[in-house]
Structure 1
């Protein structure tokens, strides 16, 4: 194995084409977060992004996109934002993960959404489900499954949609729009949600807003940003911004206007989104790792992602272990215990309300 390092913008068209070819050859890699366009766009905004190009003789057999931080700490591209992480490589190509880290100048590589089948994985790493909406049989087949397994949710969502239209006006769904105005409306709802629930507001970082704007403008057969909004009487009610490959739509930023909360606008929107996505060739909507009630109600399957780290022996890896691993294990314990999770969620929402009052 030979490894060369490059900034994303330094990749030539032949390398980008090879990346896309390797990705499309393996269903486990069918996530837009693993597409070359995503890494290149993030690299335009963050100078810590690198790409390791892996060779077997004269042939390119893999790409390993990562961020390199001080002390040789490696993280996935746009760490903390992405629901699929890892390297894109030829099937059957194996490597020593620690040698890869050495070639990349890394002491540690930390991840929390590593996709299945990665040579970076071992039995020590924690596995987590990533729920999906399976549309490979079409939208009608999906709703047939919903009626069978989540019949109450499906019927009540349709009933609330009819009630919303009776009380507020005609419903319209705008799928895959490229208009910036509804995007900013959606991001405003998301910021309010972060603050209301005590979470960190991601869109307080200008580079993340710019990233989303650039991805919205990126459109090709194999990769695009997808913004869709539901309107009632031409007033925006709910929406979502995500990314797609040819056949997978990655859920990313869903939100809604809380004025319409009693109608379950998020569920209304997700059903409308699934219908339009299926009509546009999408076979899977990956809703991402995480315990959310709406995911449980809408899912018809799941993928698997892993959390953990790969490290070389050294002082930097030891310091990283002390700073990060105990925190991660504590978080995992809370997430796995329904009582602890509910208590933590309630505490965050209380904090969010207090913060809103103090900032108001």
Structure 2
């Protein structure tokens, strides 16, 4: 195994084409967060991004995109934002993950949405479900699935959409919007949601806003940003921004105007998005890891992702363990226990309300 490290901007057309070919050769890698375009775009904004190009003789057999932080701590590209992480590599590739870390100058590689089956899994990880919507047979069969498995939710959502139309104006849906104006409306809703629920506002970081802006402007056949919005007349009500490959749409940033909350605009938007996505060739919507009620109501199945770390023996790995692992395990315990999860969520929302009052 030979490994060459490069900043994304240093990759040539032949390397990017090989990356894309490897990705499209295995359905396990069919996620836009594993696409070369995503790493290239993040690399324009983050100096810490690197790509390990893995050779077997003259042939490129894999790519490992990552961020290198102090003490040799490695993280996925855009860590904390992505719902699929890991290497893109040739089938049946045998690789020593610890040697790979050493060649990358890493003591530790930590992950929270690693694709199952990766050589990087090591022995220290937990697995979690990532709910999906299967559209491989089209939108019609998906609605039949909903009628059979989430009938009340499906019928209620359609009824609320009709009621929204009667009481507020004509309901319409736009898919793959190129105008940046609606994108910023969506991001403002998302910021309000983060603050209202006591979460950290991701869009307080300018680079994340710019990342989303650049991805919306990306329009390739194998990778693109996708913004869709539901309107009442000319007023936006709910929306979502994600990224797609030819056949997979990654759910990323859904949000809505709380003035319309009684109509369940998020569910209305997701159904409309699924219909337009299926018509555009999308076969799978990956809604991402995380226990959310709307995901349970809309999903047709689940993928599996892993959270953990791969570490080489040494002082940096020990320091990282003390700083990160106990807190991660405590968080996992809370998320896995329904009562603890509800209590923590309630506490965060209370904190969010207090923070909003103090800011006002």
Which of the five TM-score ranges fits, normalised by the shorter chain? Answer: over 0.9
Matched with 1:327 is 327
- d(CA) in 1 for partners of 2:122, 2:5: 25
RMSD: 0.5
Counterpart mapping for 1:58-137 below 5 A: 58-137=58-137
Counterpart mapping for 1:242-253 below 5 A: 242-253=242-253
- d(CA) in 2 for partners of 1:18, 1:58: 13
Gaps of 5+ in 1: none
Measured against aligned partners, the alpha-carbon deviations of 1:245-287 in whole angstroms (never above 9, x if no partner) come to 0000000000000000000000000000000000000000000
Matched with 1:182 is 182
* Residue pair 2:197, 2:352 contacting (<8 A) in 1 also: yes
- d(CA) in 2 for partners of 1:250, 1:47: 25
- d(CA) in 1 for partners of 2:99, 2:245: 31
Deviation at 1:209, TM superposition (A): 0.2
Q: Secondary structure at the match of 1:184?
A: helix
* Residue pair 1:108, 1:311 contacting (<8 A) in 2 also: yes
Deviation at 1:121, TM superposition (A): 1.6
- d(CA) in 1 for partners of 2:50, 2:4: 10
- d(CA) in 1 for partners of 2:243, 2:30: 11
**TM-score, scaled relative to structure 2:** 1.00
Counterpart mapping for 1:151-230 below 5 A: 151-230=151-230
Deviation at 1:17, TM superposition (A): 0.1
- d(CA) in 2 for partners of 1:161, 1:172: 10
Instruction: State how many pairs are aligned.
Output: 360
* Residue pair 2:124, 2:310 contacting (<8 A) in 1 also: no
- d(CA) in 2 for partners of 1:328, 1:52: 27
* Residue pair 2:122, 2:310 contacting (<8 A) in 1 also: no
- d(CA) in 1 for partners of 2:110, 2:116: 15
Deviation at 1:133, TM superposition (A): 0.5
Deviation at 1:91, TM superposition (A): 0.5
Matched with 2:313 is 313
**TM-score, scaled relative to structure 1:** 1.00
Q: Secondary structure at the match of 1:281?
A: coil
Structure 1's consecutive aligned runs of 4 or more residues displaced over 2 angstroms after TM superposition are none
Residue 157 of structure 2 corresponds to residue 144 of structure 1 = no
Matched with 1:51 is 51
Counterpart mapping for 1:253-292 below 5 A: 253-292=253-292
Deviation at 1:123, TM superposition (A): 4.7
Q: Secondary structure at the match of 1:156?
A: helix
- d(CA) in 2 for partners of 1:281, 1:301: 19
Measured against aligned partners, the alpha-carbon deviations of 1:180-221 in whole angstroms (never above 9, x if no partner) come to 000000000000000000000000000000000000001111
Q: Secondary structure at the match of 1:177?
A: coil
- d(CA) in 2 for partners of 1:7, 1:94: 24
Q: Secondary structure at the match of 2:120?
A: coil
* Residue pair 2:52, 2:63 contacting (<8 A) in 1 also: yes
* Residue pair 1:186, 1:240 contacting (<8 A) in 2 also: yes
